[in-house]
Amino acid sequence: MEKRTELYRGKAKTVFTTDDPERLILQFRNDTSAFDGEKVEQLDRKGMVNNKFNNFIMAKLEAAGIPTQLDRVLSDTETLVKRLDMIPVECVIRNFAAGSLVRRLGVTEGQALNPPTFEQFLKNDALHDPMINESIAISFGWATAEQLARMKQLTYQVNDVLSALFDEAGMMLVDFKLEFGVDGDGNIVLGDEFSPDGCRLWDKETRKKLDKDRFRQGLGGVVEAYEEVAARLGIAL
């Protein structure tokens, strides 16, 4: 597999083309960003940890029947993935109240949400990822009603699989964000990444934060927390 040109540089990952038009390389960098790129720092080992974390989670989801873009790991920080046309709609499920939900509604952090909530945000840093809904996404042509329905169904499926996985390892999956794309056959496929950068994970007993909120809130021990989550899941780093 030959790495060719840089296609896209995100806040934490760079995407490269390859000699195969159907395959891309995701490179996980140490850059850590919060508040839509307002706060950025380099955190040692984070690229490697997130790459291995993402591969472990995507393989679990594939095994559970959820289509993902994962192909194979290439190095500590690089993974080969299927090329997708990404849909700019971020799907968020919350099992417990935190983050923007607490700010928006003034509810208590940690309040259990039964059933879990489902929200959609437009992927647009300049606009700070505004909350949208299905009607808006359809009217602007970002996705069809069928695609949005499939994304919602898959996001709930991911929640079932991963809530159980983290629960068994002594953690609460508080909330998470997924991004989807369309493959060459028109199927909706899970893309981007699943790592502690894009979800909230708390220790079940102490409610200690083990995710990117440690960086957002300046709590320190960011990568150490990610490594602790990986160790609890049995991910070899």
Of residues 12 and 80, the one with the C-beta less far from ligand ASP: 12
Residue nearest to ligand TMP (CB): 99
150 makes contact with ligand ASP (CB under 6 A): no
Instruction: Tell me if 77 sits within 8 A of 100, measured CB to CB.
Output: no
- Binding ligand ASP (rule: CB under 6 A), the pick from 15, 34, 48, 86 is 34
Identity at 82, one-letter amino acid code: K
CB of 5 to ligand TMP, least distance (A): 26
Within 117-136, the residues that bind ligand TMP by CB under 6 A are 121, 129
Query: Which of the ranges 7-15, 57-65, 151-159, 197-205 carries the binding residues for ligand TMP, by CB under 6 A?
Result: 197-205
Q: What is the 3-state secondary structure (H, E, C) of 16-82?
A: EEECCCCEEEEEECCEEEECCCCEEEECCCHHHHHHHHHHHHHHHHHHCCCCECEEEECCCCEEEEE
CB of 184 to ligand TMP, least distance (A): 27
CB of 186 to ligand TMP, least distance (A): 26
Of residues 103 and 204, the one with the C-beta less far from ligand TMP: 103
Instruction: Tell me if 13 sits within 8 A of 193, measured CB to CB.
Output: yes
